[in-house]
Amino acid sequence: MSADPTAGASGGAALRRALGLRTTVSTSAGLAFAALEYLAAAGLVGYVAGDSAWIAIGVAGLLALLAWGFFGELNGMFPTAAAIRLYMKRSMDDRVALIITFTYMTTIVLVIAADAFIVGTALAHAFGESGWVSALWIAGLLVLAVLSNLRGVSVAGWVQDLATYGVLAATVVVASAALLRSHHPLRFPLQPLHGHGLGSLVEAVALGVFLFSAFEWVTTSAEEVRRPEHVHRGMLVAVGLLFVVCSLATVAMSHVLDHHQLTSAYPQLLLGRAAFGRAGLWAMAGVTAVTALNTFNGGFITASRFVYGTAREGSLPRQLATLNDRAVPWVPVCALGVLALALALVVSLTHSWQLLVAVGAALEAMIYAVAAFCTLRLRRRSPEHPRPFRVRLAPVLSVVGIAVFGALAVVASVSVANRTDPVPLVVIAAAAAASSLYVLVVLPRVRAAEAARRAATPRRRPGRAVPAPGDGA
């Protein structure tokens, strides 16, 4: 295993620093703002009174800022593609850290799969097509995302910028138009508990946290940003953008859509129709398609870099650390594309997107609690370690983060669509069991094989070439 986790892959290849602050913001916000955002926002409406859902989103945004502080400090300490591996490894037993890490990373694939189902369903509804046609849409968008990633991070970054900022702007325009054209005053905009209990508000906040989830995935691009501070600054701007857009969209949907429309698989299309008629529906269908490209592309950027960094350190097969001539870890990108397509088809057949939302929300809250724990632990274990970005009142805020995010993870893992359901917890347990099997049984073999390979590889001495097979010594 490489002593330097930031070292390049074999042959001296390394990721390229090509991402500016604009793309860091778009990657962070774009990963969170998937097509699932519209359904999660519509579902949040039922937990509070009238048009007051924005308050729950605001509280969730404050919690997201708490998580931003933890990830900002940790990423500043370990600005690498495998940062999550490093700070978890130094905060707890390495095997436990790996199990948590691999379990958490399933969130990316789950979100892509669920999002693919939402996009396919929305496009099929807009075009009046049969359900099976949605699979063609999904496959086409996934192929486009894979190809843009294989072309290099600069190309993928431009795609991410255009997709994210276009989606956010279109959502603001449609939501604002729907509110202005309703010609009705807002209902209980400041009274979320009117006719509701405090428990409902807590559940609304838990679901609101999901609206911000995945904004921290941009930290896996730490080796590709031009300046290290772009990461924590980009995440902060992304949280602000997500609060504004999600709040506006949620209030617009609660104001102009009825219960049946809110519980459909495409409330954003109905919101577009309320704003601009049939043209608005088509516009939001296009926006929904772009969110898929946005989510797929951003997911591939971050997940592939994490896999690359983890394989580079020896915790995954070394083939996953291979870079193409454009400095892209092409094996993880292609593997993620195939896996995402397979899971998307399963979701289409089972219509289990709400289950995946619950699983994703629970895993996100879990990793936020872990980040709080790592921040607290490393303040004690490595007080001298350079911290370009520091969380103020870290000892107190870390304890608060562990308690709050831990509780939200428990709530999310036993509820689906506003009802108690232990299935998400079962899915998470299964993912953790699979991760444990790999870490405890398979990984020692992977490391042994890599050690044997390195031992059998002749080492070059300075100024002396290694003899070719058949040559004299």
CA separation for the pair 89, 84 (Å, rounded): 8
The CATH number of 13-454, from 3.40.50.10440, 3.40.30.110, 3.40.720.10, 1.20.1740.10, is 1.20.1740.10
DSSP codes joined into one string, 2-38: -S-TTS--GGG------B-HHHHHHHHHHHH--THHH
- pLDDT higher than threshold 90 for residue 161: no
Written as six digits, the tokens of 253 are 């949907």
Q: Where are the domains of the chain?
A: 13-454
123-143 pLDDT tens trace: 888 888 776 777 787 788 778
- Least-confidence region, from 8-12, 190-194, 403-407: 8-12
442: helix, coil or strand? helix
Q: Can you tell me the distance from the alpha carbon of 359 to that of 110, in angstroms, rounded to the nearest whole number?
A: 8
Q: Residue 105's closest CA among 311, 304, 292, 239? A: 304
- Residues whose CB is less than 8 angstroms from the CB of residue 68 and which lie 6 or more positions away in sequence, other chains included: 215, 216, 232, 235, 236, 239
Q: Indicate if the pLDDT at residue 341 is higher than 60.
A: yes
Chain position carrying tokens 């519509």: 42
CB 367 within 8 A of CB 373: no
**Within a 10 A sphere around the Cβ of 307, how many other Cβ atoms?**
24
pLDDT at residue 72 above 60? yes
Residue type, position 57, single letter: I
Cα–Cα distance, 115 to 36 (Å, whole number): 6
How far is the C-alpha of 255 from the C-alpha of 82, rounded, in Å? 43
Cβ-contact 243, 58 below 8 angstroms: yes
- Is 379 a residue whose pLDDT tops 90? yes
| DSSP structure string for 245-296 | HHHHHHHHHHHH--HHHHTSS-HHHHHHHHHHTHHHHHHHHHHHHHHHHHHH
Q: CA 171 to CA 427: how far, in whole Å?
A: 32
Helix (H) or strand (E) holding 415: strand 415-416
> pLDDT tens digit string along 227-269?
888 888 999 999 999 999 999 999 999 999 988 888 887 899 9
Q: Is the pTM of this model over 0.85?
A: no
Question: Between the CA of residue 254 and those of 97, 121, 176, 274, 301, what are the distances in Å?
Answer: 41, 22, 13, 12, 34
Burial 73-109 (b: 16+ CB within 10 A, else e): bbbbbbbbbbbbbbbbbbbeeeeebbbbbbbbbbbbb
